[in-house]
Every structure is written in structure tokens, then in C-alpha cells.
């Protein structure tokens, strides 16, 4: 059976919800099943990419530390929404890793091509 195209979108800000951590766990499991994975950060989801996070006193999982290691899991298609950084006046240098961007029409296209979307 051909691998499925799975698109995982993270739109929620860190610490507001456990869904982004759930998304990461689905991603890692699907990667272990050798599915074809795309990860996209939209809207407030880009705040997960800020490099200075420190979860110690929050009781919640911080996914920013796991992101740079995703390549080890053969997850190479990681994008962020084009305007999301600019809107929040965040510079590329503040991110844990450099990422390619997608415009809204490109996001629409990636979404249409996916077999399944997890949009958290």
C-alpha cells in the first residue's frame, strides 16, 4: 500500500492547549509507519518556533525542543505560513530552526493534496 500524505497543521499557541503536543506524537507515530508527512505552522502556531522557551514551571510539554530533531525521523517537509512571522514582528533569527514559507494559495494546494489533515 502506498504511504498516505498526511498534513499536520499547528495553529494553537504554546501552553494554551495540549493539542500541539498531540500533533507531534501523531507525527512521530505516522513517521514510524513510513507515511509521507508535511508539517505546517500557521497563525499563533509559529510561536512554538521561538527559541527561548523554557517550560519548567508550566506543567505542560514544550515541543520547540523536539523540532530540530524531526529530520532524524525523515520529516523534511516543514513549513510556516508566510505572513505569520511578519504579523507578529518576529525575525527569522529568533526561531529554533530556519523554515521555508508557504503562501495561502500554496497552503490551499498542500491541503487539497493531503489524504488526511490534522489541524490543531
Q: Per CB under 8 A, does 111 bind other proteins? A: yes
Q: Per CB under 8 A, does 117 bind other proteins? A: yes
Among 47, 67, 70, 75, binds other proteins (CB under 8 A): 47
Stated length of the chain:
120
CA contacts within 13 A on the Cβ side of 93: 0
Name which of 12 and 38 has its Cβ closer to other proteins: 12
Q: Is 24 helix (H, G, I), strand (E, B) or coil?
A: helix
Among 69, 74, 97, 104, binds other proteins (CB under 8 A): 104
- Which residue, 59, 82, 69, is CA-closest to 28? 69
Among 36, 44, 73, 77, binds other proteins (CB under 8 A): 44
Chain position carrying cell 513549513: 79
Handedness of CA 93, 99, 100, 104 (dihedral sign): negative
- Residues making contact with other proteins (CB under 8 A): 1, 4, 6, 11-16, 18-19, 22, 25-26, 29-30, 32-33, 35, 42-44, 47, 50-62, 64, 87-89, 103-105, 107-109, 111-112, 114-120
Amino acid at each position: 500500500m502506498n504511504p498516505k500524505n498526511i498534513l499536520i497543521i499547528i495553529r494553537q499557541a504554546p501552553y494554551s492547549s495540549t493539542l500541539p503536543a498531540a500533533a507531534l506524537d501523531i507525527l512521530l507515530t505516522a513517521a514510524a509507519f513510513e507515511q509521507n508527512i508535511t508539517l505546517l505552522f500557521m497563525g499563533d502556531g509559529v510561536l512554538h518556533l521561538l527559541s527561548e522557551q523554557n517550560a519548567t514551571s508550566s506543567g505542560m510539554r514544550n515541543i520547540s525542543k523536539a523540532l530540530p530533531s524531526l529530520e532524524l525521523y525523515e520529516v523534511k517537509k516543514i513549513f510556516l505560513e508566510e505572513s505569520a512571522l511578519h504579523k507578529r514582528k518576529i525575525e527569522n533569527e529568533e526561531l529554533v530552526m530556519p523554515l521555508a514559507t508557504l503562501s495561502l494559495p500554496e497552503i490551499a494546494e498542500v491541503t487539497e493534496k493531503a489524504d488526511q489533515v490534522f489541524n490543531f
